Amino acid sequence: MASMSDYLEDKFLDHMIGRATTAYPSTGENSTLFVALLNTTAIDGWTPLSTGECAGSNYSRANVANSSSNFTNSTAGSKTNKTAITFTTDASTGWGTIKAIAICDTSSTTTGNCLWVDDLTANVSVTTGDVVEATTGSLTITAA
């Protein structure tokens, strides 16, 4: 995952330079991250209010505890997932073609903030009954 969202870049700079504190979501300093699947290519300014998030039957963002159990220590400005992140489709419908992935600060598809967003290395067509999974080590989050 190559790029911080505009929202996170601003929060990072405000936190690191010239500000005493930065407000975090009510989940408590991002104790849970929410992984979203997008049917559009990544856009740096994408927000949960933008179009393009998967909207298939029974789709919901994957909840991932933001912990050392689920993510490696940062090395050279990046981290990877230590556990699989799995989405399961409903047997009655597919989710179309997934082109990008986002990490957000809420489970809601209409509120909150996007933290990171990037295109997949290859599009994934999700049909009825498919399981979408970011396998261990396949999701890289960078501070760029």
Q: What pLDDT, on a 0 to 100 scale, did the predictor assign at position 35?
A: 94
To the nearest whole number, what is the mean pLDDT of the chain? 83
**Residue-range domain boundaries for the chain:** 3-19+37-142
What mean pLDDT is predicted for residues 57-71? 89
Report the Cα 93 to chain-centroid distance in Å: 22
Q: What pLDDT, on a 0 to 100 scale, did the predictor assign at position 138?
A: 94
What mean pLDDT is predicted for residues 33-55? 84
Tens of pLDDT along 72-125? 988 888 889 999 999 877 757 888 999 999 999 888 888 888 888 999 999 999
> Pseudo-torsion of CA 56, 96, 124, 69, nearest 10°?
-10
Q: What pLDDT, on a 0 to 100 scale, did the predictor assign at position 23?
A: 57
Model confidence at 131, in pLDDT bands (50, 70, 90)? confident
